[in-house]
Amino acid sequence: MAKHETPLLDQLESGPWPSFVSDLKQEAAARAKNEKNIEYQVPVDVVEDLLGVLELSFKDGTTHWKHGGIVGVFGYGGGVIGRYCDQPETFPGVAHFHTMRVNQPAGKFYKTDFLKNLCDLWEFRGSGLTNMHGSTGDIVLLGTTTPQLEEIFYELTHKYNQDLGGSGSNLRTPADCIGQARCEYACYDTQDLCHTLTQEYQDELHRPAFPYKFKFKFDGCPNCCVASIARSDMSFIGTWKDDIRIDQDAVKGYVNGDFKPNAGAHAGRDWGAFDIQKEVIDLCPTECMKYEDGKLAINNKECTRCMHCINVMPRALRPGKETGCSILVGAKAPILDGAQMGSLLVPFVEVNKENDYEAIKEVIEAVWDWWMEEGKNRERLGELMKRQGFQKLLEATGIKPVPQHVQEPRHNPYIFWKEEEVEGGWDRDINEFRKHHKR
Amino acid sequence: MELEEAKEKIVEALNKKAKTKSKFYFNDLSKILELKPREAKKLISKLVEDEVLVYWSSGSTTMYGLKGAGKQAAAEHED
């Protein structure tokens, strides 16, 4: 018999999708039974009380969690989010229900024993409820009490070689795509860059001193599987400088129906014979491709790396060999001012392990210095860029304006030149001027 | 700036405002110290380590306060 009646939550289970309410009930029942004889360190009925407080919130139309808290592990300003219930007498199991964010391994590669150990730890010292993964990529452990925090942190760092992630006005846990480990499109080693920068910027990750949150995300190619362009303040997207590599025989193979387009990804239905003109050439956003006399040609100068042709014919087309990444800045979700996509700051930069990614770190640190000095409290980088202008960002980072920075021509007719940018400065010989211009 | 001087400045300024405010943004603290953010961060992190200051976090934003200041620590029996 459930501890609290939950008719409103029960209704949620009736839909066609797997329900988190069913998951919670399952965990509540497992804790009550305790078949493994675990010495639970947080109240055994924590999940029952969570269901109870959620039901009450549905009934009241308001939250029963207080706003934030002062808990954390020693020396860290992030990784733990204090959650306290405002009805602790009715729901003592969730009086403390803190969240812990654990930095996921790069590319989210796990061994099953790691996951099992993590779950065992969380059954023992937490509610047993997890969220795999939070939208920043972290492993999210939901619901524990203050005395457990240091214990969990010790076990995570000493036994499982795993650190807490970022929260608050910090560098958030950097996230990357699966990269060269499994994907032939990846133009650089996303996992190595993500891991290296995570290690390099430990102070920024754990000791908050930014105006607000700051996110890094790494995509190996412009398919953008982690959606860095939309979700991170600084997005690193793999790209190439030279031409798309074409295997003309394989192109013919696609045209003749020897290979399934999109590697068979849409093979669940009969779409008819593959039509290269209709399905590739005509869909190129810059119209830079043609297929004539059995030969595919690409005007690479016009290519904007949409990836469509490569995705449709992966056997025939491959990214170029001279690879690196583009850096985009300022994307964010719509808390203030609406959502924003990233703006291109560095069209191409070498991703060089040998020199410890020096060129990339230089850009990062210049951007941070500017934002830390000029950013208002709770102002994201994208908002500062909007407030002060892209030109200021270029000045702060020492990057020269290039045509790639312009989204479309003739958008804004005003250019404010500075004195040092104009030959001869503002001074003029008035007599010389008057020779040609009468009063 | 030496740590002791920073501590004095911060404690004095935060105590002065204690009646109306118990939590402060990082920027507020660096203004009190009259230092650039990166310089201020070194001292402020040390003050947290020495348990003069504590972090407060909503999950999205982090603020700083004097240890034990404000209502929250007592309300949640965390003091």
Longest Cα–Cα distance in chain B: 36
* Closest-approach residue (CA) in chain A for B70: A70
Closest CA to A73 of A209, A207, A215, A211: A207
Residue A2: predicted pLDDT: 87
Residue A1: predicted pLDDT: 67
**Percent of chain A predicted with pLDDT > 90:** 85
* Closest-approach residue (CA) in chain A for B26: A209
> For residue A170, which residues of chain B lie inside 8 Å, CB to CB?
62
**Percent of chain B predicted with pLDDT > 70:** 90
Burial of A319 (0-12, 13-18, 19+ CB in 10 A): buried
Taking the CA of residue B66 and the nearest CA in chain A, the distance in Å comes to: 11
* pLDDT exceeds 90 at position A365: yes
Mean of pLDDT values over B6-18: 93
Chain A touched by B25 (CB under 8 Å):
yes
CB pairs under 8 A between A and B: 85
Spatial contact of A322 and A241, defined as CB atoms under 8 Å apart: yes
Residue A415: predicted pLDDT: 72
Give residue-wise pLDDT tens across range A154-173: 999 999 999 999 999 999 99
Would the CB atoms of B57 and A146 count as touching at under 8 Å?
A: no
- Rounded Cα distance, A309 and A261, in Å: 10
Alpha carbons within 13 angstroms on the beta-carbon side of residue A220 total 20
Chain B touched by A167 (CB under 8 Å):
yes
Domain residue ranges of chain A, discontinuous segments joined by +: 7-158, 175-239+327-420, 245-318
- Rounded Cα distance, A219 and A148, in Å: 36
> What's the distance, CA A373 to chain centroid?
24
- Rounded Cα distance, A348 and A326, in Å: 5
Confidence tier at B72 by pLDDT (50, 70, 90): low
Give residue-wise pLDDT tens across range A277-336: 999 999 999 999 999 999 999 999 999 999 999 999 999 999 999 999 999 999 998 877
CB atoms within 10 A of CB A94: 29
Residue A410: predicted pLDDT: 74
Closest CA to A394 of A340, A325, A331, A347: A347
Residue B30: predicted pLDDT: 94
Residue A269: predicted pLDDT: 86
> For residue B54, which residues of chain A lie inside 8 Å, CB to CB?
70
* Closest-approach residue (CA) in chain B for A88: B76
Mean of pLDDT values over A41-70: 95
Give residue-wise pLDDT tens across range A336-349: 778 999 999 999 99
Complex ipTM, two decimals?
A: 0.91
* pLDDT exceeds 90 at position A424: no
On the question of a common fold for A175-239+327-420 and A245-318, the answer reads no
* Closest-approach residue (CA) in chain B for A207: B45
* pLDDT exceeds 80 at position B64: yes
Would the CB atoms of A170 and B44 count as touching at under 8 Å?
A: no
Would the CB atoms of B76 and A69 count as touching at under 8 Å?
A: yes
b vs e for B44-59, b when ≥16 Cβ sit within 10 Å of the residue's Cβ? bbebbeeebbbbbbbb
Q: Which CATH class is domain A175-239+327-420?
A: alpha beta
Query: What does the DSSP assignment read for A18-40?
Result: --HHHHHHHHHHHHHH-TT----
Q: Which CATH class is domain A245-318?
A: alpha beta
Q: Write phi, then psi, for A370 (nearest 5 degrees).
A: -65, -50
> Token pair for residue A176?
């990357």
Architecture of domain A7-158: 2-Layer Sandwich (3.30)
Would the CB atoms of A69 and B60 count as touching at under 8 Å?
A: no
Correct CATH for B3-75 of 2.60.40.420, 3.90.550.10, 1.10.10.10, 3.40.640.10? 1.10.10.10
